[in-house]
Amino acid sequence: MGRDELVAALRRQTEEKIASQWEEARAKAREIRKERENRLSRLREELAASRREAARVEAEAVLRQAEGEIRDRTLRTEREVSERLYRIGVGLLPELRGENDEKSFRSLSEELPPFLWSALRVNPADVDLASTLFPDADVTGDERIAGGLDAASDGDRVRVVNTYEKRLERAWEELLPILLRDVEAST
C-alpha cells in the first residue's frame, strides 16, 4: 500500500469518527458565540445612556475572550483529531504487509548505508529474510514493527531506523494538512 492508499484508508476509517468531533467543536463555537451575543446585549442595554464608551471597551474584551476561547477550542480539536489520525495511521501500518513483503523488506534494507550491522529489529515475519540478508547480525523479531527494520552497529554507534512507523512519522507533517482538509471537507 502506497502513500495514496494510506491516505485513502485513513480517510475511510476516520470520516465518521472525526465528523462528530468537528460537529462538537462547531456546536461549542456556536454556544460561545451565543453566550457572547447575550452578554453583549445585556451590557448594551444597561450601559446605553451613561456609559457608552465603557460598554464598548467591555464588549471588545468579551469579543476577544470569546474569539480566544473559540481559537483555543479549535486548536485543541485539531490536536485531538491529529493524534487520532496518527494512531489510526499507525494501526493501519500492518495492513501494508502483503504479497510484496519480501520485495519491500529488501528495498528498505538496501537503503541502509554499507556498514557492518550487528543487530536488527524487524517484524517477526521478516526474521528469516533478515537473517539471510544480514547473516552476521543478531536479528530479533519485534511485534511493534509493522515492516522495515531498525539496524544498529556494534555498540549502537550507528543506528538507522527504516521502519514503516518511522516513515509515517517522517511523512506526518506533509500528510496531516492533507488529511485535515479531507476530514473538514467531509464533515
Q: Please check whether residues 28 and 109 belong to one and the same domain.
A: no
Which pLDDT tens digit goes with each residue over 127-179? 999 999 999 999 999 999 999 999 999 777 899 999 999 999 999 999 999 98
Helices (H), the chain: 3-47, 52-92, 101-110, 127-133, 164-186
Q: Please check whether residues 16 and 84 belong to one and the same domain.
A: yes
Which pLDDT tens digit goes with each residue over 88-124? 999 989 888 877 788 999 999 999 998 899 999 999 9
Q: Please check whether residues 110 and 182 belong to one and the same domain.
A: no
pTM: 0.62
Q: Please check whether residues 116 and 160 belong to one and the same domain.
A: yes
Identify the pLDDT of residue 44.
63
Q: Please check whether residues 148 and 66 belong to one and the same domain.
A: no
Q: What would the mean pLDDT of 54-75 be, rounded to a whole number?
A: 89
What's the CA gap between 29 and 76, in Å, rounded? 13
> Mean pLDDT score of the chain, rounded to an integer?
85
Q: Please check whether residues 79 and 130 belong to one and the same domain.
A: no
Q: Please check whether residues 149 and 78 belong to one and the same domain.
A: no
Question: 16 pLDDT exceeds 80?
Answer: no
Q: Please check whether residues 10 and 67 belong to one and the same domain.
A: yes
138-141/117-122 β-pairing = parallel
Q: Please check whether residues 112 and 33 belong to one and the same domain.
A: no
Q: Please check whether residues 9 and 87 belong to one and the same domain.
A: yes
Greatest CA separation found in the chain?
A: 88
Q: Please check whether residues 87 and 177 belong to one and the same domain.
A: yes
Q: 135: domain range?
A: 100-167
What's the CA gap between 58 and 163, in Å, rounded? 55
Instruction: Indicate the number of domains in the chain.
Output: 2
Sign for the pseudo-dihedral over CA of 115, 120, 121, 124: positive
What's the CA gap between 16 and 187, in Å, rounded? 9
Look up residue 86 and give its three cell numbers.
496518527
Q: Please check whether residues 35 and 112 belong to one and the same domain.
A: no
